[in-house]
Structure 1
Amino acid sequence: MRADPKDQQRLLDVQAIDTALQQLAHRKKNLPELAEIAGLIKVIGALEDERARAEVHVDDLDRDIAKFEREVDAVRQRRNRDNERLVDGRLPARELTALEHEVVSLTRRQSELEDAELELMEKREAAQAALDSVDTKIASTRERREATEAKRDLTLNEIAKEEEWKITSRRPLIADLPADLVELYDKIREQSGGLGAALVRHGQCGGCRLELYGADRARVRSAAADEVVRCEECRRIMVRTAESGL
């Protein structure tokens, strides 16, 4: 293939833009915010699991406390009825004695139930504090996630603008170049990790960074100025200029 040397050199301008676009795409894919957001999502998930367990614990304690309250209330009502019967005093002495023993027993039972209920209430207070702590952590982590997402969106917007500017700059360059040269360049670039054309500098291929020696150097040196020369090693288009050192 043949192409005007100036068109071949313009390929380097196109390549510079394509390299910049490739770098922008890599940056967009590997933003530190993406990894941070993924980590925060995992943390939030773990905290929500912890919150679910803490909430179940609080609900269990509430149920147990309610049960104790019902038992205390039942004992209290029975003791009050027995006290009223004692105050009335119209029962036989034997029954009054038995009733007195029952009141003592009920009083002791009420005290035991109230102590147990108080212990549960203290546990419930600690469980609620743990639940509140998890809620605080979840809220804080969500705020961090939202802030990181906002930072990510801002960076992505900046990258998108830069990409748009690069693409806009590329169009007129491509339009001025021969279609077959552009087609070859794009094909090589796709096959070679994004680099389709490289400058030969000081006898070295800019694509694979290998020195040109012997017959290969002579081949490149003797090629016509308008001949599109490709590297024998990396197969990229080698653009020759005054600094090629051939």
Structure 2
Amino acid sequence: MKADPAVQRRLLDLAQVDAELSRVTHRRRTLPEIAEIAEAEKQFRAKQDALTTIETTLGDLNREVKRQETEIDQVRAREERDRKLLQGGSVGAKQLTDLEHELATLGRRRGALEDDLLELMERREAVEADIQHARVALDKAQEALSDAARRRDSALADLESTETKRTADRKLMTGQFPEPLLALYERVRKQKNIGAALLQSRRCGACRIELDRNAFAKVKESAADEVIQCEECGAIMVRTGESGL
């Protein structure tokens, strides 16, 4: 295949645009913010679960406190009834003894219940403090996730802008090439990712392999408008004054 040397040199500009587009695609897949978001989401879910667990514990304690308070109220009501009976003076000696014994028992029961209630309330206070800390931790996790998402979106927007501009540039550039030359370039690029590269100091700019003596002699003897491909990678080797010919 033959093509004007000046047209062949313009393949280097096209290859540069394609390289930039490839970098955009690669960067879009490998943005550090993507991994950061995944970790931030993991931390956020962990903080959410921790808060839910603590809130469940608080709910259980609140129910236990209410149950304990209800039982204490019942004991106090029983004590109040017994005291009124004693003060009324209308009970017999045996019933009086039974009431006094029951009051003593109720007093001990109330004391034990009140001690248990105090312990429950102290535990509840500690859990409420834990909830405050857990909510602060969750807020920080949410903030970290939101920040990473904002930075990802900003990076993606920049990449989108670059891709749009360079895609438009590429569309204009491809119209400058003969169809056979462009078809060869596109075919090689699809297979090897690089369609054309500079032959520089006897080295292919695509695969970076130096041409052996025979291959270099063949290139040197070729006409200037001959389209030459690298024997190793297939890329079109564009010859300029830097090629060492």
What range is the shorter-chain TM-score in? over 0.9
Q: Deviations over 1:43-69 (max 9, x none)?
A: 111122222221221111112111111
Corresponding position of 2:62: 62
What CA distance in whole angstroms lies between the structure 2 residues aligned with 1:178 and 1:186? 12
What CA distance in whole angstroms lies between the structure 2 residues aligned with 1:148 and 1:243? 45
Normalized against structure 2, the TM-score is what? 0.96
What CA distance in whole angstroms lies between the structure 2 residues aligned with 1:185 and 1:131? 63
Tell me the percent identity: 41
SS of the residue aligned with 1:198? strand
Corresponding position of 2:182: 182
Corresponding position of 1:202: 201
Q: Deviations over 1:75-123 (max 9, x none)?
A: 0100000000011111112211221121121111111101101101111
Corresponding position of 1:89: 89
Contact in 1 for aligned 2:47/2:141 (Cα 8 Å) = no
CA drift of 1:210 comes to: 1.6
What CA distance in whole angstroms lies between the structure 2 residues aligned with 1:72 and 1:88? 24
**1:238 and 2:237 matched:** yes
What CA distance in whole angstroms lies between the structure 1 residues aligned with 2:43 and 2:241? 58
Contact in 1 for aligned 2:54/2:127 (Cα 8 Å) = yes
Contact in 1 for aligned 2:51/2:134 (Cα 8 Å) = yes
Corresponding position of 1:132: 132
Corresponding position of 2:76: 76
What CA distance in whole angstroms lies between the structure 1 residues aligned with 2:44 and 2:222? 64
What CA distance in whole angstroms lies between the structure 2 residues aligned with 1:204 and 1:147? 46
CA drift of 1:174 comes to: 0.7
Gaps of 5+ in 1: none
CA drift of 1:132 comes to: 2.3
What CA distance in whole angstroms lies between the structure 2 residues aligned with 1:76 and 1:178? 102
Moved runs in structure 1, 4+ residues, more than 6 A?
A: none
SS of the residue aligned with 2:91? coil
Amino acid at match of 2:230: C
Superposition CA RMSD, Å: 1.2
SS of the residue aligned with 1:229? coil
Corresponding position of 1:191: 191
What CA distance in whole angstroms lies between the structure 2 residues aligned with 1:211 and 1:225? 20
SS of the residue aligned with 1:199? strand
What CA distance in whole angstroms lies between the structure 1 residues aligned with 2:55 and 2:150? 31
Corresponding position of 2:22: 22
Corresponding position of 1:112: 112
How many residues are treated as equivalent by the alignment? 245
What CA distance in whole angstroms lies between the structure 1 residues aligned with 2:194 and 2:65? 73
What CA distance in whole angstroms lies between the structure 2 residues aligned with 1:51 and 1:136? 10
What CA distance in whole angstroms lies between the structure 1 residues aligned with 2:72 and 2:110? 6
Q: How does 1:204-219 map to 2 (within 5 A)?
A: 204-219=203-218
What CA distance in whole angstroms lies between the structure 2 residues aligned with 1:96 and 1:148? 76
Corresponding position of 2:13: 13
What CA distance in whole angstroms lies between the structure 2 residues aligned with 1:64 and 1:229? 86
What CA distance in whole angstroms lies between the structure 1 residues aligned with 2:161 and 2:138? 34
Contact in 1 for aligned 2:50/2:134 (Cα 8 Å) = yes
Gaps of 5+ in 2: none
Corresponding position of 2:155: 155
Normalized against structure 1, the TM-score is what? 0.96
CA drift of 1:5 comes to: 0.9
Q: How does 1:24-39 map to 2 (within 5 A)?
A: 24-39=24-39
SS of the residue aligned with 2:226? coil
Q: Deviations over 1:173-203 (max 9, x none)?
A: 11011111111111111111x2110100111
Amino acid at match of 1:154: S
